[in-house]
């Protein structure tokens, strides 16, 4: 932890008394930082992870939008905003990783718990407010605008064709029975993407990763965290996470108080559902191929992969 304390001292002017590990997420490690003045949350994207470039490439582009949302909309206090370094940068970077610092949020991740009615209402209000804003805001959104590209197409096909033989035997046996359906889903996705590129679908700011592990209860307020995927996109990029939830009708009744005439774009919804499943499978395979994992983490990754592969057969 001394390395983190040095970073905090030199780049954030914070004298950390203690740095302790917290439960991290898909993209990064997490630490609680305690100083004499207050507590902070340190997010660490390890450069040894194959997925890190994806999550960190647009930090300079999306953080100014988060800052604007926090200051100029009713989302203030409902999303975390990264603290700037002493040089007014949105992150610190060294040979080991990329670092973001936040004020510590006292609360608990929703995680495996079901949302109660108040939490559903607050989530609907957060999403509805976010979807009010598009490219007209006074902060550039060009870098995060959806173009319906599928950046993982080539590595995905390589992993299914060339790299699949490099997978450990146990993983190879899991993936091979799904090779044909995965290839078919990829073809479907590319066709839908081409059609959407030629359409004039409306785009708004979207979080693009709404699930219970990205929701925190802090006092009486629900907070939506982990905004690395912020995008200017069809709102189905967010609603795709909610359409199968038991509270969806309750959510939409509140959402439509702000967006009165909203009707789901089924084509956009299908695009995001398929892309998300294939993207998750691709990232899990990348972890097994390229990341150095402890045995416990590897077992968890394989378990997660099996679940995603089973879903690809029955969903959409």
> What's the pLDDT tens digit per position in 206-230?
999 999 999 999 999 999 999 999 9
CB of 44 within 8 A of CB of 8?
no
Low-confidence ranges of the chain (pLDDT < 70): 162-165, 314-316
Q: What is residue 168's predicted lDDT score, i.e. its pLDDT?
A: 78
Rounded distance, CA 84 to CA 91, Å?
7
pLDDT tens string 103-112 = 999 999 999 9
Domain boundaries, the chain: 1-66+79-104, 107-316
Give the CATH number of domain 1-66+79-104: 3.30.200.20
Residue from 107, 82, 115, 109 nearest 26 by CA: 109
Q: What is residue 164's predicted lDDT score, i.e. its pLDDT?
A: 62
Q: What is residue 165's predicted lDDT score, i.e. its pLDDT?
A: 65
pLDDT tens string 6-25 = 999 999 999 999 999 998 77
Average pLDDT, the chain: 93
Cβ neighbourhood burial of 311 (10 Å; 0-12, 13-18, 19+)? middle
Beginning with the edge strand found earlier in the chain, give each strand of the sheet holding 39-46 in spatial order: 16-22, 29-35, 39-46, 97-103, 92-93
Helix then strand count (H, E) for the chain reads 11, 10
Annotation: CATH topology of 107-316: Aminoglycoside 3'-phosphotransferase; Chain: A, domain 2 (3.90.1200)
Q: What is residue 141's predicted lDDT score, i.e. its pLDDT?
A: 98
Q: What is residue 163's predicted lDDT score, i.e. its pLDDT?
A: 60
* Domains 1-66+79-104 and 107-316 agree in fold: no
CB of 75 within 8 A of CB of 126?
yes
């Amino acid at each position: 932890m001394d390395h983190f304390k040095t970073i905090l001292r030199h780049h954030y002017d914070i004298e950390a008394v203690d740095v302790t590990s917290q439960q991290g997420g898909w993209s990064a490690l997490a630490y609680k930082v305690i100083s004499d003045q207050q507590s902070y949350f340190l997010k660490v994207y390890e450069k040894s992870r194959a997925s890190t470039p994806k999550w960190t490439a647009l930090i300079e582009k999306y953080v100014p939008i988060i800052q604007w949302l926090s200051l100029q909309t009713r989302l203030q206090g409902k999303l975390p905003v990264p603290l700037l370094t002493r040089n007014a940068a949105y992150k610190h970077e060294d040979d080991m990783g990329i670092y973001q610092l936040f004020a510590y949020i006292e609360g608990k991740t929703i995680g495996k718990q079901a949302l109660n009615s108040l939490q559903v209402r607050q989530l609907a209000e957060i999403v509805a407010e976010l979807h009010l804003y598009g490219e007209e805001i006074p902060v550039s959104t060009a870098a995060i605008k959806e173009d319906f590209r599928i950046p993982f197409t080539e590595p995905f096909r390589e992993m299914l064709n060339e790299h699949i033989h490099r997978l450990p035997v146990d993983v190879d046996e899991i993936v091979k029975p799904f090779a044909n359906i995965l290839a078919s889903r990829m073809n479907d996705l590319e066709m839908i993407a081409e059609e959407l590129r030629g359409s004039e679908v409306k785009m708004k700011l979207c979080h693009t990763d709404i699930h219970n592990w990205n929701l925190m209860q802090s006092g009486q307020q629900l907070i939506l965290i982990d905004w690395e995927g912020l995008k200017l996109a069809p709102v189905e990029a967010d609603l795709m996470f909610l359409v199968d939830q038991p509270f969806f009708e309750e959510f939409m009744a509140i959402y439509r108080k702000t967006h009165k005439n909203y009707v789901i774009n089924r084509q956009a919804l299908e695009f995001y559902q398929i892309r998300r499943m294939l993207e998750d499978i691709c990232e899990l395979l990348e972890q097994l191929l390229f990341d150095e994992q402890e045995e416990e983490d590897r077992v968890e990754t394989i378990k997660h992969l099996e679940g995603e592969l089973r879903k690809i057969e029955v969903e959409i």
